[in-house]
């Protein structure tokens, strides 16, 4: 599709769409808890709808009246064998987290997804859950989907030092640990998003966290709850960037979830000298707020170490931000970008360089030389929603010519009304 180009003076207010990570988990927790769970502000993006459908396939009654989703959970033992293989679409969160849930069932489930899912590494989940007693195998002896998960009702607890910083892996192990007999101890490589831990507590479970060490005993019973999903800071990131780099702009983003394990982009914007006002609301446990950004003079910085998991999904749009900052921005320790929906290190460098950016891909990140004007080009999202949205924000800076985006439809994975929201700003 032809992207919108050459806009200055973006102004307005956007209600940020609901958090993808929390929407997935709200269905999962509702399904494994006992009793009714209601979910308000569920993200009806393709990925979260894959999770909803997957649990319907596992025999869980889930109703959607267009506003509230109601999940009628019957505990872990209420899950029933699916009649056919479960399709997870493009969703890494669905396939990885569900593996931990299926680990404790008395049946076998097959899981498959789209082209991108068929290339996502799964050993990171398979190894720990197999160590706990499940039998999970990949396609043709590889670690890649389609996968088969043979559960066991006799799951053992695990003591596990995580080799990767991944909330998906941690969450899969936690779901299995909730069903195991005894205490599991998980030590994170770096602290990652903690929505699963929060929701275990919210659903009446018991978990203790001390720094990077998590202790959890099983088996546990969870109880259905009322969940209200806050807005997704990962979606807000696109309009935060637009507001900072497009001349004469001021954008107000409402209802943004501000869980501290997700707010690395706020730290980055502040370090780069961006004008960003954060007005917090919500309780300590459920932080949310309004973010206001204005066009700013930015400077390049280094982004590495423990902050990386706190902004892992925002790195493509942060790379665009850095193309409009004076000086060099260096992103390190972000090798996980290579195994996202696409290789985001290559995708960001290749596509933005076509538009005139000066970006060097490295083994674990990107070196971005700013500040560069951007020009028209034929670009692709590689079927990756976050690359697609980043390229549309980049196109806003192009003064003449065309930016044609291939595979734009991927954007509906996390932000189905992205283009409508953008239109509201000019
Ligand atoms: C997610 C964790 C992250 C993130 C993904 C969502 C989650 O993946 O990139 O978009 O909801 O747990 P990793 O766990 O692979 O880092």
Give the tens place of pLDDT for each residue, 247-297.
999 999 999 999 999 999 999 999 999 999 999 987 777 899 999 999 999
386 is in an annotated binding site: yes
Q: 20-228: which CATH architecture?
A: Alpha-beta prism (3.65)
The C-alpha atoms of residue 200 and residue 174 are separated, in whole angstroms, by 9
Which residue among the candidates 313, 346, 363, 406 is catalytic per the annotation?
A: 313
313 is in an annotated binding site: yes
Query: 168, 314, 384: which to mutate for ligand 1, most atoms within 8 A of CB?
Result: 168
**Quick one: pLDDT at residue 272?**
98
User: What long-range pairs does 337-343 form, CB within 8 A, spacing at least 24?
Assistant: 337/312, 337/365, 339/120, 339/121, 340/92, 340/313, 340/384, 340/386, 341/90, 341/92, 341/116, 341/382, 341/383, 341/384, 341/385, 341/386, 341/387, 341/410, 341/413, 342/116, 342/382, 342/383, 342/384, 342/387
* Domain at 11-18+230-424, CATH homologous superfamily: Enolpyruvate transferase domain (3.65.10.10)
Q: Where in the chain is the domain with CATH 3.65.10.10?
A: 11-18+230-424, 20-228
Q: Is the pTM of this model over 0.95?
A: yes
The C-alpha atoms of residue 38 and residue 50 are separated, in whole angstroms, by 18
The backbone region for 136, taken as left when phi is positive above 0, alpha when psi lies in -120 to 50, beta otherwise, is beta
Give the tens place of pLDDT for each residue, 17-36.
999 999 999 999 999 999 99
Please identify every stretch of the chain with a pLDDT value under 50, giving residue numbers as ranges.
Answer: none
- Annotation says 114 is catalytic: no
Ligand 1: atom nearest CA of 193 is 12
């Amino acid at each position: 599709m032809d992207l919108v180009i050459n806009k200055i003076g973006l102004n307005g207010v956007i209600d940020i769409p609901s958090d993808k990570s929390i929407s997935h988990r709200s269905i999962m927790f509702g399904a494994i808890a006992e009793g009714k769970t209601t979910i308000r502000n569920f993200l009806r993006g393709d990925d979260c709808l894959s999770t909803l459908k997957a649990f319907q396939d596992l025999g869980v009654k889930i109703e959607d009246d267009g506003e509230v989703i109601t999940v009628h959970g019957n505990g872990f033992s209420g899950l029933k064998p699916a009649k056919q293989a479960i399709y997870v679409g493009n969703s890494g969160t669905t396939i990885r987290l569900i593996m931990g849930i299926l680990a404790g069932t008395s049946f076998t489930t097959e899981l498959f997804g789209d082209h991108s899912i068929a290339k996502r590494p799964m050993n990171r989940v398979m190894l720990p859950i197999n160590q706990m007693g499940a039998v999970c195998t990949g396609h043709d002896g590889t670690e890649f989907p389609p996968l088969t998960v043979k559960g066991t009702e006799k799951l053992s607890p695990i003591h596990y030092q995580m080799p990767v910083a991944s909330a998906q892996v941690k969450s899969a192990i936690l779901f299995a640990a909730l069903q195991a007999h005894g205490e599991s101890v998980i030590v994170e490589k770096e602290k990652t998003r903690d929505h699963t831990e929060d929701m275990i507590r919210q659903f009446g479970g018991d978990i203790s966290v001390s720094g990077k060490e998590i202790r959890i005993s099983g088996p546990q019973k969870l109880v259905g709850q009322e969940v209200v999903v806050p807005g997704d800071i990962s979606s807000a990131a696109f309009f935060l960037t637009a507001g900072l780099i497009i001349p004469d702009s001021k954008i107000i983003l409402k209802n943004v979830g501000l869980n501290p394990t997700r707010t690395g982009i706020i730290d980055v914007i502040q370090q780069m000298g961006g004008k960003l006002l954060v007005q917090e609301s919500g309780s300590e446990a459920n932080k949310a707020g309004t973010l206001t950004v204005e066009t700013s003079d930015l400077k390049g910085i280094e982004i590495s170490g423990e902050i990386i998991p706190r902004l892992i999904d925002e790195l493509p749009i942060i790379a665009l931000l850095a193309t409009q900052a004076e000086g060099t921005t260096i992103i390190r320790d972000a090798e996980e970008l290579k195994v996202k929906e696409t290789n985001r290190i290559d995708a960001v460098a290749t596509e933005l360089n076509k538009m005139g950016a000066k970006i060097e891909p490295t083994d674990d990140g990107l070196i971005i030389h700013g500040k560069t004007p951007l020009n028209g080009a034929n670009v692709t999202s590689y079927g990756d929603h976050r690359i697609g949205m980043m390229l549309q924000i980049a196109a806003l800076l192009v003064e003449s010519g065309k930016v044609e985006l291939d595979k734009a439809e991927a954007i509906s994975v996390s932000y189905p009304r992205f283009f409508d929201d953008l239109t509201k700003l000019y």
